[in-house]
Amino acid sequence: MRQSQLFTKARKEAPADELAKNAKLLIRAGYVDKLQAGVYTYLPLGLRVLKKIENIIREEMNKAGGQEIFMPTLQPKENWKTTGRWETMDDLYKVSDTSGRENALGPTHEEIVVPLVKQFVSSYRDLPFSAYQFQNKFRMELRAKSGILRGREFMMKDMYSFHTDEEGMVKYYEEMKKVYTRVFTRVGIGTTTFLTYASGGSFSKYSHEFQTITPAGEDTIYICDKCHIAVNKEIIEDLKSACPECGGKNLRTETSVEVGNIFELRTRFSEPFNLSYKDEEGKEQMVVMGCYGIGLGRVLGTVVEVLGDEKGLVWPEAIAPFRVHLVDLSAGNEEVSTYARALYTELNACSIETLWDERDLRAGEKFAESDLLGIPLRIVVSKKTIDDGGQVEIVDRKTGQVRMVDRAEVFKIADGSFTVGLSD
């Protein structure tokens, strides 16, 4: 994409009312815009990142046998009355229309998915299966001061699994722990994200959260480095300050944010909706459920908190909006601009996603903005680099390492064999 065509612009200053690092950087770089507290628009660059996170999650959910659906936001009050959550959920948005009908704006979708699947489940032969969606959730969060980490409207992947018995559910649940670990590794926060024992709420003894270390988080966890797992402080009493897996007492304390959560729902929602099936003997049994959530905006914001530096955003390759930022310093020089245009065309032909900064701005301004945008590789083309024998300069955004390479080598980026840090 040509940068001059991008309708959004980077800004020099962060808005004064934003306190969170993630929102300050994302707004300055033109990735998101704040409409009101906890409610954000994703702009072209931000949406590219969000979609990449979405696709990684989709691939992993599909591999785990999940079937994608898309359920409504506007949810009848009756469904919420059935589970009792119309009264008990404090952060539920309730809306009524001119005819007096009341609805909830979905903060989660058990109340919708259970009556939905009930229409299709009658026998043990119809089980097990899982269904998931990407959908905006609405929650009246009291403290919406963490930028996109805590939205009042936010995108979530929520998956629900349905089983004949607890054994089947637990097996799938254990599998999902691995699937979630893969998701967080693929989006670039694997080393700082920990499977965390947490309270099971009203459903079961424990649930499992995925917590990423960052001072921007609101949780405190105790980490066992030996097992690469953690315990949420809120339940440490119960676990007697020891690692639930190895029993070790050498735990370190960190501040963290919950990027994902998996729950054994068991029959908490099957019962109120009478979601049952006939077993092999023809006896009615309750369907046993699990649920699995990941906040996409929260993951995106967490990556910014963990990897962003004093110059701006730093994207892991897998979720970067573009692979290459082609910074064209032709400044009216025909030879340089022809070279840059040809390079841009070739990069696109090799399916290397490239943002081409062909705007007529000072080099210093372009470099500062390039650092702010955080695209993994910057390719600089100028009179000087060309005079150096038809070469280009490549800068690794994360490490700051610089290398002069010839044109042919640039295209090794396409097969992943190129590294800025390698010496010739």
Where do contacts with ligand ATP occur on this chain (CB under 6 A)? 108, 139, 141, 150-151, 154, 156, 258-261, 293-295, 297-298
**Rounded least distance, CB 423 to ligand ATP, Å:** 41
Report DSSP state, residue 331.
Answer: T
Ranges assigned E (strand) in 200-330: 206-213, 219-224, 229-232, 252-266, 276-278, 284-286, 288-295, 324-328
Instruction: List the one residue out of 289, 234, 258 whose CA is nearest residue 184.
Output: 258
Find, among 62, 125, 129, 116, the residue nearest to 269 by Cα.
116
The residue among 3 and 207 lying less far from ligand ATP, judged by its C-beta, is: 207
Instruction: Count Cβ atoms below 10 Å from residue 378 Cβ, excluding itself.
Output: 24
Q: Which is nearer to ligand ATP, 30 or 293 (CB)?
A: 293
Cβ closest to ligand ATP, residue 30 vs residue 147: 147
The residue written with tokens 């018995």 in the block is 165
CB of 139 to ligand ATP, least distance (A): 5
The distance of closest approach from Cβ of residue 387 to ligand ATP in the complex, given in angstroms and rounded to an integer, is: 50
Distance CA 330, CA 358 (A): 8
Which H or E run includes 267?
A: none
Place of tokens 């700082």: 192
Exposure of 404 by Cβ count < 10 A (0-12 exposed, 13-18 middle, 19+ buried)? middle
N-to-C CA span, the chain: 31
Smallest separation (angstroms) from ligand ATP to the CB of 345: 40
- For ligand ATP, give the closer residue by CB, 176 or 420: 176
- Closest residue by beta carbon to ligand ATP: 295
Tally of residues, the chain: 424
Rounded to a whole number of angstroms, the minimum distance from the CB of residue 151 to ligand ATP is 4
H-run or E-run covering 421 = none
In angstroms, rounded to a whole number, what is the distance separating the alpha carbons of residues 28 and 376?
18
Nearer to ligand ATP, 156 or 405 (CB): 156
Instruction: Give the residues across from 161 on adjacent strands.
Output: 130, 290
**C-beta of 296 vs 352, nearer to ligand ATP:** 296
Residue whose CB is less far from ligand ATP, 236 or 350: 236
Residue 105 has φ and ψ, to the nearest 5°, of -90, 115
Considering beta carbons, is residue 172 or 277 the nearer one to ligand ATP?
A: 172
The verdict on whether omega for the bond into residue 128 sits within 30 degrees of 0, i.e. cis, is yes
CB 149 to ligand ATP: min, Å = 6
Q: How far is the CB of 314 from ligand ATP (least distance, A)?
A: 21
Residue 90 CB, nearest distance to ligand ATP (Å)?
Answer: 11
d(CA 17, CA 350): 42
